[in-house]
Structure formats: structure tokens, C-alpha cells
Amino acid sequence: MKIKTIISGSGIILCLLIPFSGTARAENIKFSDSAIKAEGHCNPGDDIHTLFPSGYSLPSVVMIYVNDSSGKPVDWGTGTFISPDKILTAGHVAYNMQQYQKKGKKVYITAGLHEPEPGTAYEIKSIAIHPEMNLDTSDHDIAVITTTKNYPTRTYPITEITADLPDAFFGSVSYPSGLIEKIGKFNQYTARFKIDGHLYSSAVALTKCLTYGGESGAALIGYQNDSPLNGKIVGVLSSGSGDHPGDPTTLTYYTTLSGSNYKFITDNL
């Protein structure tokens, strides 16, 4: 993975809406000071990540990973259940896992992992990757994984993007490698930010916020109550550039659910 960020101390209490295709719920989550600053166009180095406290997690968010010889995850990405047996993730995450499978390594999927809660294990039935995916771009970096058993509870809805994303808050829930390595636990983190630019000719949106490896495939979700996109997936995290605070090249790219990307997903539901 090629994307990183940093984390700072804790600060203000905000209300984070955790939306599903079923009944949404709101919980009080403690955001970091710099996450408050990120409520605008993020400056390079802004910390937008907040650790979910014990007892809180999004069970539909999955970690897709392979283990080393000791049974510890060593390479992973993030995905989200969008129907009972379908997980949305980045195409390059799915491709990497296919390469591990070809080498005889077991690929694991765990939904809702947030230590000390173990999450629920799922087996892969099939992997569909956008036929135009190019590992050097974010244009069609999208995939759908089908599981052998159904996810039993609520899933996130997807929506097609036909115009520029509005000037509203978006967010994601993921498994950022650097923060996991720092605290030594496989936990979910939430992030909230605004989109900084749009490149719709290639179905890509971006932000100046730093992100980590391990977040690839995390759903880009609307997080503003008065937005028609609230609680809906509009894209997935693809890649990033820049790896330290103040790096002017810092950008994170999201493959949007527009055009052939959206059709590919619906064709594989």
C-alpha cells in the first residue's frame, strides 16, 4: 500500500450519524482536534481519523486480508457489504487477493472486526473486477466480492453519481494500517471530510486529506443529514500520494459510482 497519515490527541464531542439501508442510528463519538479542522478542504497533514470506542463498530465494514505464517494479518484492504452476499471494494484490493489465492494463500474476510470483538468470518465465492481496471490509475478501480453465505443484518445502499458531488461532508470507515500498527489492534477508524476536487471525465473525486494503506476499498459515504446522499455509498477509496504532514503532493483518490462503474456494480449484484 502507498498511502499514510498521522493521528493526534482527542477533542470535541460530535454526533456521528451511522447510516445503513435499514434504520439509521446516531452515537456520540469523540473526534480528534484535527478531525474538526478537517470539516472543510483538508490541508496536507490534517488528521481526519478517529478510533471507534470500545463497543462501537460498523458490522457491515469488512477487512479483506492474508496472514503470515504466525496467523497475523500482513496485507489487507477494506470493503463494505452492499447486499446480503456482495462486498464492494477497490479493484486493486481484489486483484491482489486473487494473486495470493493463485499462490495458495488463504484470503480471509472478517465483518465488524473491532478488537476485542472478533467479527464474523466470510468465505469468498467469486470476485468480479471492473474489466477496464488499470493498476496505474483510479478510473475503474472497483470490484464486487460475492460471499458463500449471506450477511444477516443491514447493508449500505449505493447510488449513481451523475453530477459533481455537492459541497457537503463525506466520510468512510476503514482499517488504516499505520494506526493499527501504532496501537497493536485491528480496529475500525472513521474519517470525515469534504471533497476537494472532481475529475469526472475519469470518474474520480479527490481530497487533500492523508490516508493510510489498508484503507483501500473503503466506501465513500455521504455524512450530512440534509444531503440526498446521506448514508449512501458514492465511491471507494483507490489510492493516494504524499506521506507526511505538509507534503504539498498529498491527495487521496476515490473511484466514484458513475457511468460504467455504477453499471458494473449493479450488473454484479
Instruction: List per-residue pLDDT tens for the chain, 269 residues long.
Output: 333 322 222 222 222 333 333 322 223 334 444 444 455 567 656 667 889 888 888 899 999 999 998 888 999 999 999 999 999 999 999 999 999 999 999 999 999 999 998 999 999 999 999 999 999 888 899 999 999 999 988 899 999 998 888 888 899 999 999 889 989 999 999 988 888 887 766 788 888 888 888 999 999 999 888 889 999 999 999 988 766 656 677 788 999 999 999 999 999 99
SS3 (DSSP) at 82 = strand
244 and 167 in a common domain = yes
pLDDT of residue 54: 81
pLDDT at 203: 84
Instruction: Name the residue with cell 481526519.
Output: 48
Shared domain check, 259 and 165? yes
Please indicate, yes or no, if residue 142 is contained in any of the structural domains: yes
Ramachandran region of residue 112, left (φ > 0), alpha (ψ -120 to 50) or beta? left
Report pTM.
0.85
Question: Is the domain of 30 the same as that of 73?
Answer: no
How far is it, in rounded angstroms, from Cα 20 to Cα 26?
11
pLDDT at 49: 85
pLDDT at residue 87, rounded to an integer: 98
Q: Of 121, 147, 173, which marks where a domain is finished?
A: 147
What CATH number does the domain containing 46 carry? Answer: 2.40.10.10
Does residue 4 fall inside a structural domain? Answer: no
